[in-house]
């Protein structure tokens, strides 16, 4: 997935933040949880549970994690404020939340790529609309759907009238 966002400085690593969450909930850190947090935060990309499971070692291999543990741990990562989840075309997509700025997305419906962007103008508009309604903003999510530049160019080249 395309990304132009840079991580923000944080006082704790995602691993340390998750450890604090587990302690607060009275849960213990397991090897599977440690492996999953490293795997998820090793790269910045959007993913669903099935994509993550596909990247993980298979049953019988070192660091194997069951599908049930993956789904449960992803919910814990969201509860801990490490990941955000949202629905996209019938699937739950996860993205890094901890250590990344508020941002929005462009979604290409052809290649299914998510492009992240930030916009001061959009934030100003959001805040102005909220203020006009006496509304206190705690966050927002915007996903603009369309066709990306690469997919638009690919289609144009294949049209018969363009080849004549």
Query: Which residues are documented as binding site for Fe cation?
Result: 104, 140
Phi, psi of 163 (to 5 degrees): -90, -10
Name the 3-class secondary structure at 37: helix
Pair of tokens at residue 129: 């609309």
Cα separation, 154 vs 118, whole angstroms? 27
Going by the annotation, the residues of the binding site are 104, 108, 111, 140, 148, 151
Which helix or strand (DSSP H or E) is residue 85 part of? strand 83-88
Specify binding-site residues for Zn(2+). Answer: 108, 111, 148, 151
62's tokens = 């070192």
Residue carrying the six token digits 């102005």 = 128
Residue 56 and residue 162: Cα distance in Å, rounded? 45
């Amino acid at each position: 997935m395309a990304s132009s966002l840079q991580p923000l400085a944080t006082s704790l690593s995602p691993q340390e933040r998750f450890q604090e969450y587990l302690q607060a909930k009275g849960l213990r850190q397991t090897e599977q949880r440690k492996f999953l947090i490293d795997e998820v935060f090793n790269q910045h990309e959007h993913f669903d549970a099935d994509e993550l499971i596909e990247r993980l070692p298979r049953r019988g291999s070192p660091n194997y994690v069951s599908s049930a543990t993956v789904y449960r741990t992803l919910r814990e990562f969201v509860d801990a404020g490490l990941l955000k989840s949202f629905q996209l075309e019938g699937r739950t997509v996860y993205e890094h939340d901890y250590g990344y700025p508020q941002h929005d997305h462009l979604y290409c419906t052809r290649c299914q790529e998510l492009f992240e962007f930030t916009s001061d103008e959009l934030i100003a508009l959001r805040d102005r609309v909220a203020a006009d309604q006496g509304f206190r903003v705690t966050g927002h999510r915007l996903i603009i759907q369309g066709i990306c530049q690469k997919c638009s160019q690919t289609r144009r080249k294949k049209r018969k009238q363009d080849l004549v």
